[in-house]
Amino acid sequence: MAAAQHLLSSGDFPLPSVNQIINQAGVAKGTVYLYFSSREEIYLSLLMNYFTQFESDVLNRLSISNSESVSQVLADCFVHFSAQSPKGVYLACIAPLILENNLSDEFILKFKHHMHNITLNILTKIQKISLCDDLEELRIKFLLVYNLFLSSWQHCHPPENVLKVINKQGLGTLLYDFEKEFTRGLKAIWQ
């Protein structure tokens, strides 16, 4: 996992191959396949680690907030996550269409349960702070915010070669200030 994390953090896209991970880790191919059956499993495991860190950040920040500041805390946490872990956000963006696509049901369930537990932990904390009885309403808002986060981040962070073309051709108006507009969208959803 550490080798995959290092390669992902220091490299460009596409995702490093299993052979690159094996070379970086200095282990036998069989060792990697004892723990993971594919590179998709490796990267979803890394994504689970990123989300565990995100959960910790959100819960810590919420523990010192009040009902009026919940939306700002969430905005700050998502923006911080994007700044500190852009490769984690990239993995989150490609997870549903690419990483989850060819995995065993068992691994998909492991990943989805992990995501469910993180979401529930965050929502339970928000519910206590905001004194909101409607956990379902909080769940929908949180998932809408998460989807806004992924789509906004992906839109505002095109691949480097695409960004060069956009800038060279004077098409920068296709992009917007991610932090500002995501925060504005989150607050509109969270009302």
For 46-63, how does the pLDDT look when each residue is reduced to its tens digit (9 = 90+)? 999 999 999 999 999 999
- Would you state the structure tokens that stand for residue 153, as one six-digit string? 């981040």
Identify the residue whose tokens are 């956000």. Answer: 89
- Would you state the structure tokens that stand for residue 60, as one six-digit string? 């810590």
Q: Residues 6 or more apart from 85 whose CB is under 8 A from it?
A: 50, 53, 54
Q: Where are the domains of the chain?
A: 1-35, 39-190
Question: What is the average pLDDT across 86-105?
Answer: 92
- How confident is the model at residue 13, as a pLDDT? 55
Q: Do you find a cis peptide bond into 14, omega within 30 degrees of 0?
A: yes
| Of the listed ranges 47-56, 60-69, 74-83, 178-187, the one predicted with least confidence | 60-69
CB-based contact 36:45 (threshold 8 Å): yes
Report d(CA 78, CA 122) in Å as an integer.
Answer: 13
- How confident is the model at residue 145, as a pLDDT? 98
Band (97; pLDDT cuts 50, 70, 90): very high
Burial zone of 106 (CB within 10 Å; 0-12 exposed, 13-18 middle, 19+ buried): exposed
Backbone angles phi, psi at 26, to 5 degrees: 70, 35
Q: Per-residue pLDDT tens for 2-42?
A: 655 665 666 655 676 667 777 767 777 777 777 788 889 98
Question: Which CATH architecture best describes the domain 39-190?
Answer: Orthogonal Bundle (1.10)
CB-based contact 150:178 (threshold 8 Å): no
Report d(CA 44, CA 133) in Å as an integer.
Answer: 33
- How confident is the model at residue 2, as a pLDDT? 64
Q: Per-residue pLDDT tens for 103-162?
A: 999 999 999 999 999 999 999 999 999 888 899 999 999 999 999 999 999 999 998 899
- How confident is the model at residue 132, as a pLDDT? 85
**If phi over 0 gives left and psi between -120 and 50 gives alpha, with beta otherwise, what is residue 158?**
beta
Report d(CA 116, CA 109) in Å as an integer.
Answer: 10
- How confident is the model at residue 70, as a pLDDT? 94
